[in-house]
Chains A and B, each alone.
Chain A
C-alpha cells in the first residue's frame, strides 16, 4: 500500500475512420505507451477501434455539476435557434 499507484488514464476510441473519438472508460498505466497498449487490450478486443487516445485523468477539467443550470439554462429559451421556429408556407417543402 505504501507503493505509489499507477496514474489513471481516460481512454477515447475512434470506432472507424471518419467518426470522432469517443470516451470508453479508464485504466491505470505507468506511462503513455503502457496506457495505449493496455487500452488496446482492455477496450478493443473485438475490433472496436482504429485509433486510440489516452489522456491522464488529472488533465481533464469539467464544469461543476451543481452549477448545471447556470451554465445550460440560458440555451433553454432560445427556440429561435431551431429551424422549426420559422413558419413557412406548405409549398416551400424541405427547406
Chain B
C-alpha cells in the first residue's frame, strides 16, 4: 500500500502537479520540507537583527526608509514561510521553541556582525543576491504552499538587492575612506555569502532525494557557481576587488574558477561558535519572553470582548 502511494506521489511530482497540505506525502518529504521551510522562516526573522542594528544610524532619510522597508519585508517573509510550514502539521509556537532551544537552525550568515554602514550595502548586494539565487527556483518547488510563499518573497526581494548595490555604488564612488569601507565590507561578507549555498554537492547527502522530490531544482554547487558568475561583473562595475586570489575566468568551462572555501569556519558557525550566535539567539528569546504578557493580554481582551458580545446578544 505504502509503496503504491509513494509511486503515485512521485508520478504527481514528475508531472509537475503540486502537492497540497492534505494530499498524501511520504513522511520524509513532510519532515524535509518542515525542516527547510522553518529554517528559511527563522532565517528571515533572525536576519532582521544585523540590519536592525543600523536603522537608527542610517546616513540619511532616504536610506533609512529603505532599510526600514527592507527589514519589514523580512518580517513579512518570515510570516509567509511560517504559515507555509504550519500546513505541514507543526504549530507556530513549536517552531519558535525549536529556534529558541537551538534545535532548529537558521542561515549562518546572520551570525556575523555588521560593523559599518557599508555592511548594509554588502548584505543587500551579496546576502540578498545569494538568497535570490536560491529562492527563484523555489518558486517552482513541488509543495504548493511553499511555492506560493516564495513567489511572494521573490517579488519583493529584488528591491533589497538593488538598494544594497546602490549603497555600495555610492560608497565606491565617494571619498577614499568611503571606498575603503565598501572594500572592507566586501572582504568580510564575500566568503560567508558563497557559503550560504551550503556544503558542496559531494558533502550534501540529502540533496539527491530533495531533487527527486523537486523540492530543490538545482544543486548547491550549481547555484553557488551561478552566483559567483553573476557577481564578479558587478564587483568590477563598483571598482572593488573580490577577496579571492584564485578567482579566474575559465574559458573552457565558461565559468569562474574560485578558491577553496573554509568549510571548517562554516561548520563552526553552524555549530554555534560564530561571532554573534549567542547574541542573535538571545535577542530572539528575549523578544519572545518579554512579549509574553502582550500575547496573553491580547487573548484576555478578546475573551472579554466575546463574553460581552454574547451577553448583549442574549439580552
- The tally of CB-CB contacts under 8 A between chains A and B is 53
Report whether B93 and A65 are in contact in the complex, using a CB–CB cutoff of 8 Å: no
Chain B interface size band reads: 20 to 34
Q: For residue A43, which residues in chain B have a CB less than 8 angstroms away from its CB?
A: 76
Report whether B93 and A5 are in contact in the complex, using a CB–CB cutoff of 8 Å: yes
Report whether A6 and B299 are in contact in the complex, using a CB–CB cutoff of 8 Å: yes
CA A3 to CA B289, docked complex, whole Å: 11
Report whether B301 and A42 are in contact in the complex, using a CB–CB cutoff of 8 Å: no
Of B79, B148, B296, B302, which contacts A31 at CB under 8 A?
A: B302
| B250 vs chain A, min Cβ distance (A) | 41
Report whether B295 and A45 are in contact in the complex, using a CB–CB cutoff of 8 Å: no
Check if B11 is an interface residue, CB within 8 A of chain A: no
Report whether A6 and B295 are in contact in the complex, using a CB–CB cutoff of 8 Å: yes
| B34 vs chain A, min Cβ distance (A) | 16
Report whether B301 and A65 are in contact in the complex, using a CB–CB cutoff of 8 Å: no
Check if B72 is an interface residue, CB within 8 A of chain A: yes
Check if A4 is an interface residue, CB within 8 A of chain B: yes
Q: For residue A25, which residues in chain B have a CB less than 8 angstroms away from its CB?
A: 80, 83, 148-149, 152
Q: Could you list which residues of chain A lie within 8 angstroms of chain B, going by C-beta atoms?
A: 1, 3-6, 8, 24-28, 30-31, 34, 41-43, 45-46, 62, 64-66
Q: Could you list which residues of chain B lie within 8 angstroms of chain A, going by C-beta atoms?
A: 20, 22-24, 69, 72-73, 76, 79-80, 83, 86, 91-93, 97, 148-149, 152, 156, 292, 295-296, 298-299, 301-302, 305
Listed from nearest, the 4 A-B pairs whose CB atoms lie closest are A30-B298, A31-B302, A26-B83, A30-B302
